[in-house]
Amino acid sequence: MIDLRINEEFKHLLPPLTEEQNTELEKDIIKNGCLTPLIVWNNTLIDGYHRYDICTKNNIPFDLTEMEFKDKLEAMEWIWSNQKNRRNLNKYELAQIALKFKPVIEAKAKENKIEAVKKADIHNPKKQNSFLTKTSKTNNEEIKVPTKPVNTRKEIAKIAGVSEDTIHKVEVIEEQAPDNIKKQVKAGDLTINNAYILTKSAMETKKKNEQLEKEYQEELEKEKQEWEEKEKQKELEKNLPENTILIDKFRKPKETHIFGIEDFNNLTEEQFDKCLKHTEKYQTTIYKTAMLSTGDESLKAWNCILENQKEVDLELESINLAIKRLIEIQNYFKGVKKDG
């Protein structure tokens, strides 16, 4: 049995056969032999990975056809062009596969750039790294230097046969979307555009939730520290001798409020500005809360980033805390009476 080199990028470029398809292929090869030659390049298997696995497993001989490619990118393009019409793939799956070309295209673009720099420097040694220089002159002869960079997304879109915008959206979905969104768009239950919108909404919600969770944890830590200080004070007082006079008990505490304000009737200009900014935050937050959409799509976008019950419970804690704070604000203003 011939021992061929396996390249993971070639092997996993296209979606694998289903279990049922693989079983049927194995039955056919066992019965009729491997009728289609495997394609190799420099002893590396290019096409026929399923057949190779079946033949190796069952000790069935196979033929090889040697092909020549100038580089890995050309080999991948051949695999894709040879196989894409045999698969019933939707736009999302086409874009998924084409995105696997990205690191190879980027590496190729980098090689081209380095090569162009070398050529430019040979003809124009005074201008090191002159890749961006369109022309140089040596002995009064104009030398053309390639300057056009490779547009990776455009190349990927060309491979997939879809627009650059579609490639961008699928890339965002692949990198950021929860698994349930990926499954739905791949199955055709969600359009690429709707999946992209849900993903962006989920990303924004996750970012906000992380900030709220951070603030919530900071608040808990602050309350914990205050409680610990009070407990220490109690313990200290408990252990004092009976005849010790606690001067602080007879001293009226000096009240200090937010921003160090002690007298709200005589605010400094700086204190007034701070109060104004703080008030605007309250107003903005309450306004945004009042404007929140509670429709099914909005709630689904929020929910789709919560992957386990612990995260759901944390959301409920944050909601309960927010409700508690809003009720405190509401109760305060219920008692406010303004003249005029």
* pLDDT bracket for residue 139 (50, 70, 90): very low
Look at residue 71 and tell me whether its pLDDT is greater than 80. yes
For residue 313, name the pLDDT band (cuts at 50, 70, 90): confident
Task: Give the pLDDT band of residue 131 (cuts 50, 70, 90).
Answer: very low
Give the pLDDT confidence of 157-181 residue by residue, as tens digits. Answer: 888 888 889 989 998 998 888 888 8
Cβ within 8 Å of residue 239, ≥6 positions away: none
Same domain, 155 and 206: no
Between CA 73 and CA 81 the distance in angstroms is 12
Which of 149, 176, 203 is the endpoint of a domain? 176
Q: How far does CA 26 lie from the centroid of its chain? A: 39
On whether both 227 and 136 belong to a single domain, the answer is: no
Distances, alpha carbon 319 to alpha carbons 206, 282, 312, 322, in Å = 15, 17, 11, 5
Final residue of a structural domain among 63, 88, 113: 88
**Same domain for 137 and 34?**
no
Q: Are residues 214 and 274 both part of a single domain? A: yes
Q: Residue 214 is part of which domain span?
A: 195-333
Q: Tell me the average pLDDT of the chain.
A: 81
Q: What is the mean pLDDT of residues 226-234?
A: 84
pLDDT digits (tens, 9 = 90+) for 290-310: 888 888 888 888 788 777 888
Say yes or no: 288 and 205 in one domain: yes
Q: Could you read off the pLDDT of 92-121 as tens digits, one per residue? A: 888 888 888 888 888 877 877 777 777 666
Q: 36 and 127 share a domain?
A: no
Number of domains in the chain: 3
329 and 199 housed in the same domain = yes
Percentage of the chain modeled with pLDDT above 90: 14
Is 256 inside any structural domain? yes
The per-residue pLDDT for 135 is: 47
Do 296 and 199 belong together in one domain?
yes
